[in-house]
């Protein structure tokens, strides 16, 4: 029995030695982007304030839909979350010629900060998802397509997991899109939901 225990401990120590990097070495993640270094889409990036987003689009503060979304976010049921959409094709600043694709930008704000954003390019198709990711990698200095993993969406999509950030590339029909989101926010929201559920369970008293 004693010999068996010693053998087991020896195996554990050997596995542990080969499972961890040697002292002084570090394992580098495939992607270590942060909010500050993440891709900027039409002048907007993760972590920006609502004021910075509006400043990127002249006159957007007077846009009825934008103003209503920001007002709705203040209601308790909205949980301080606002969803904004900007039609880039209607902006003279963004027009690049008749052959340029129509574009839209979606921005999600939580407590006045950008936690997610995405751009969709309509009328612009690629032969493969990896070809689209190649374009994104070239434009935003992102890892190659082999570093991205398949997503769960029905449309062809891949996800790049970074340091608290996820970047999703999708192609569908005649459009291509990129989405960025702060996963740390998702984690905090899940913790908040679990805490609220636990509180309700503790306070519940059957009649």
DSSP state string for 89-133: GG-GGG---TTSPEEEEEEEEETTEEEEEEEEEET---S-HHHHH
State both tokens at 135: 């374009």
Residues sharing a CB contact under 8 Å with residue 70, sequence separation 6 or more, in sequence order: 50, 82, 84, 109
Q: pLDDT at position 91, please?
A: 52
Residues sharing a CB contact under 8 Å with residue 151, sequence separation 6 or more, in sequence order: 157, 158, 159, 168, 170
95 phi, psi to nearest 5 deg: -70, 130
pLDDT by 10s per residue, the chain, length 207: 444 433 433 333 333 333 333 333 333 446 778 888 899 999 999 999 999 999 888 778 777 888 888 888 888 877 888 999 988 765 544 445 544 457 899 999 998 999 999 999 998 778 899 999 999 999 999 999 999 999 887 889 999 998 889 999 999 888 999 999 998 766 666 666 777 777 778 877 887
């Amino acid at each position: 029995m004693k010999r068996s225990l010693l053998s087991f401990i020896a195996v554990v120590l050997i596995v542990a030695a080969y499972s961890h990097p040697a002292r002084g070495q570090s394992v580098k993640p495939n992607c270590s982007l942060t909010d500050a270094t993440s891709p900027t889409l039409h002048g907007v990036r993760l972590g920006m304030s609502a004021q910075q987003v509006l400043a990127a689009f002249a006159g957007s503060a007077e846009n009825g839909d934008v103003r209503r979304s920001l007002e709705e976010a203040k209601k308790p049921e909205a949980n301080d979350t606002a969803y904004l959409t900007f039609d880039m094709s209607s902006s003279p600043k963004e027009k690049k010629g008749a052959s340029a694709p129509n574009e839209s930008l979606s921005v999600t704000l939580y407590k006045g900060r950008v936690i997610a954003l995405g751009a969709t390019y309509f009328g612009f198709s690629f032969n493969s998802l990896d070809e689209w990711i190649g374009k994104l990698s070239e434009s935003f200095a992102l890892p190659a397509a082999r570093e991205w993993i398949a997503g769960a969406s029905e449309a062809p999509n891949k996800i790049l997991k970074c340091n608290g950030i996820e970047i999703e590339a999708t192609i569908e029909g005649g459009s291509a899109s990129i989405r960025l989101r702060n996963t740390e926010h998702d984690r905090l929201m899940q913790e908040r939901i679990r805490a609220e559920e636990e509180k309700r369970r503790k306070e519940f008293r059957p009649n």
